[in-house]
Amino acid sequence: MKQEIRDKILNILKQNNLLFEGVEDKIKIESPKEEKFGDLSTNAAFILSKNLNKKPFEVANQLKELFEKDPYFEKVEVAGGGFINLFISDAFYHQILNKAIEEKDEFGKAKEKNKGKINIEYVSANPTGPLHLGHGRGAVVGNILSNLYDYIGYKVEREFYINDAGNQIKKLGMSVYARFRQIEEPSYPFPEDGYHGEYIKDIAKEIYHYEREKILSFLDEEEAIEFCAEYAKNFLLDEIKKDLKLIGVEFDIWYSERHLYQHGKVEQALKFLESKGLIYEKDGALWLKTSLYGDEKDRVIRKSDGSYTYFAADIAYHYDKYLRNYDFIINVWGADHHGYFPRLKAAIMAFGVKEDWINVLFIQLVKLFKNGEEVKMSKRSGDFITLRELVEEVGKDAVIYFFASKDPNTHLNFDIDIALKKSNENPVFYVQYAHARISSVFREAQQRFNFNPEEDFEADLSLLKEDLERSLMKYISTIPDEIYDATIKNQPHKITNITYELASRLHKYYYYHKFLIENDEKLMKARLYLLKAVRNVLRTLFKIMGITPVERM
RNA sequence: GCGCCUGUAGCUCAGCUGGAUAGAGCAUCGGCUUCCGAUGCCGAAGGUCGCAGGUUCAAAUCCUGCCAGGCGCGCCA
């Protein structure tokens, strides 16, 4: 709504030769907190007063006259100093409804990707086991965030960084190899810090089934471990992709850590930093002067044994992202990595990039509750509920909605009992029911009146005069603004609030008014038109979240 | 010890770029269906916004200290 009204105002100024140079960006449209100050207000008079060399109050009155001629403004008031309060007319809201009908499940979405190119990296789980709930939450948040930036007009690249180079993978190989050997020799030692999960045994069995001869006869132990590592990594990465697909999350780029090493990108990045004099040697190791850029101390990038640290690879990774020329990047990380951020940021600043080029969203822990008790999870023993198990238990939509509904920065309690309830105790059902309810009315319209609202039709919207109808239209018109707001503040959880609020207004409208009206076809069509618009907006929000718009339930 | 996050109604949480009686849902209590799905709607009750100071005309919101919970402080990843 703000954007449309802003365009309208700028247009009026232009037509009256009032759009002076440099003025455009300064003119702001705000929504006043109090209803009596109108639907929107603008500071235009203050801005123009300098160019016109008049007092803001005078300019405001001049503008008021111009604005009043436009049918989108029902009333224009000049407040105290020169603020102009705008009361939007129904004609505007009717336009919004038409838009909601035309744009279907992409209501208010930017038509062009002209805001710039960004990269959002999320999940990036080690391919050493199935995804757990924390990954799931990160996946949902990252996915919605990506959809949001896409919605407001950014070209978004979604990326998963595969940690396939370090010790974790080696450990994985050793674990699988040990389980493999144990099949024939149960007393074969299992590595102390190996991966204990049952899935390791399953992979070992599979390898045993297909590759027993090869491993036992043709490979030495080191080669065998490497083989197991590679096999397990590919297997698990595949599982991760499947898990993500369950909640509708897909990536554009799968970026391999090993790729960085194989293509000399680590050396390349470090060379660049070295050329800036930011690298030095101490105690047989190479250090980066991160303390110059706000980190609490310098960090090792190459250990005294000659191998690189994880940090070194990460520097190379982000140097690569930097070379890819994004306007900015967002990383979605588990909160347990927050202590790592200052050094990465320091490295990026060392490239010569401005600080706010990188944004990190930290995802706090997920606790699971069932039958009123916390389900304890231990990663060490491999005894944890996986994302897949949760999806199987409560369904994809509930998982998405619950993960999305809380501020990523707060701890999340996931109550399985509530997610399973088919009642309004369960917000997912509440919002989905709103959608299904409209579809239900449409089916009834078809049956009773032989009128199918699913097809295109026209309606006389001036018949929508009820308070609930007008406030519903008004709320719809603010939704693109709210989505925009949620996006640039990186607060994807607000989408669930907006959805819930819209659903609530719909339920209320449904309760107080009838849509299928025996002897007033015009009114019936007008109301069905409004319902259809609401349903499209719901679909838009569902689409951003990845939730299914069910027709009946 | 230092750093980051969190602490709002019995429970789960919004609100936190300061603004007027602090909002939802669930749970509790009381209403609303001859009529498009009551998987809904309306109302009541319920809060020292962790505690203590400070800034301000105005603080849940900003600052300081403290308390509680979580996380992090490696030549690990």
Tens of pLDDT along A138-180?
999 999 999 999 999 999 999 999 999 988 899 999 999 999 9
- The segment(s) of chain A belonging to CATH 1.10.730.10 are 424-545
Spacing of A395 CA from B56 C1' in Å: 50
Note the maximum CA span of chain A.
94
How far apart are alpha carbons A253 and A454 in whole angstroms? 38
Amino acid of residue A518 = E
Nucleotide B20: closest residue by CA–C1': A34
- Residue A151 in contact with residue A129, Cβ under 8 Å? no
- Residue A437 in contact with residue A410, Cβ under 8 Å? no
- A490: CB partners within 8 A, 6+ apart: A145, A330, A359, A361
**Which nucleotide has the least CA–C1' distance to A297?**
B73
**Which nucleotide has the least CA–C1' distance to A411?**
B6
The SS3 call for residue A4 is helix
State the pLDDT at residue A418.
Answer: 83
Spacing of A368 CA from B16 C1' in Å: 27
Spacing of A32 CA from B18 C1' in Å: 16
Spacing of A170 CA from B65 C1' in Å: 48
Quote the ipTM score: 0.91
**Which nucleotide has the least CA–C1' distance to A339?**
B72
State the pLDDT at residue A344.
Answer: 96
Chain B: nucleotides below 7 Å from protein CB are 3-7, 12-16, 19-20, 24-27, 35-42, 69-77
Question: Domain A424-545 in CATH: superfamily?
Answer: Isoleucyl-tRNA Synthetase; Domain 1 (1.10.730.10)
How far apart are alpha carbons A23 and A44 in whole angstroms? 9
Spacing of A407 CA from B47 C1' in Å: 22
**Which nucleotide has the least CA–C1' distance to A335?**
B71
- The segment(s) of chain A belonging to CATH 3.30.1360.70 are 2-88
Total Cβ atoms within 10 A of residue A484: 18
**Which nucleotide has the least CA–C1' distance to A550?**
B39
State the pLDDT at residue A550.
Answer: 93
Rg over alpha carbons for chain A, rounded to the nearest Å, is 29
How far apart are alpha carbons A332 and A245 in whole angstroms? 18
CATH placement of domain A2-88: 3.30.1360.70
- The ranges of chain A with pLDDT < 70 are 32-37, 80, 377-383, 424
Nucleotide B26: closest residue by CA–C1': A425
How far apart are alpha carbons A414 and A399 in whole angstroms? 9
State the pLDDT at residue A43.
Answer: 83
How far apart are alpha carbons A318 and A332 in whole angstroms? 14
